[in-house]
Amino acid sequence: MDIDQTLLQNLTESNPRFRKLYEEHSLFEKQLSEYDKKGFLSPQEETEKSKVKKMKLAGKDEMEKIIQSVTS
């Protein structure tokens, strides 16, 4: 997500929903990184990785909507 760092800081400080989404996005990114480090994933891990990707994408979409509403 390429946004102005000042805008990002302002949103995380002033918008509780954006802050929660941003924190979740960072957590999902770390989880996906851990899955990527593994050489092999069990079917259960593959399913969980897929769920994390979907939640990360949904959160990113919502953050982008918030950014657009602020910058429009």
What is the model's pLDDT at position 19?
Answer: 97
pTM of the model: 0.86
CA distances from 45 to 32, 40, 50, 58 (A): 11, 9, 8, 20
Cα dihedral 64/19/9/29 (nearest 10):
-70
Tens-digit pLDDT profile for residues 1-19: 567 889 999 999 999 999 9
Tens-digit pLDDT profile for residues 17-54: 999 999 999 999 999 999 999 989 999 999 999 999 99
What is the model's pLDDT at position 60?
Answer: 96
What is the model's pLDDT at position 4?
Answer: 85
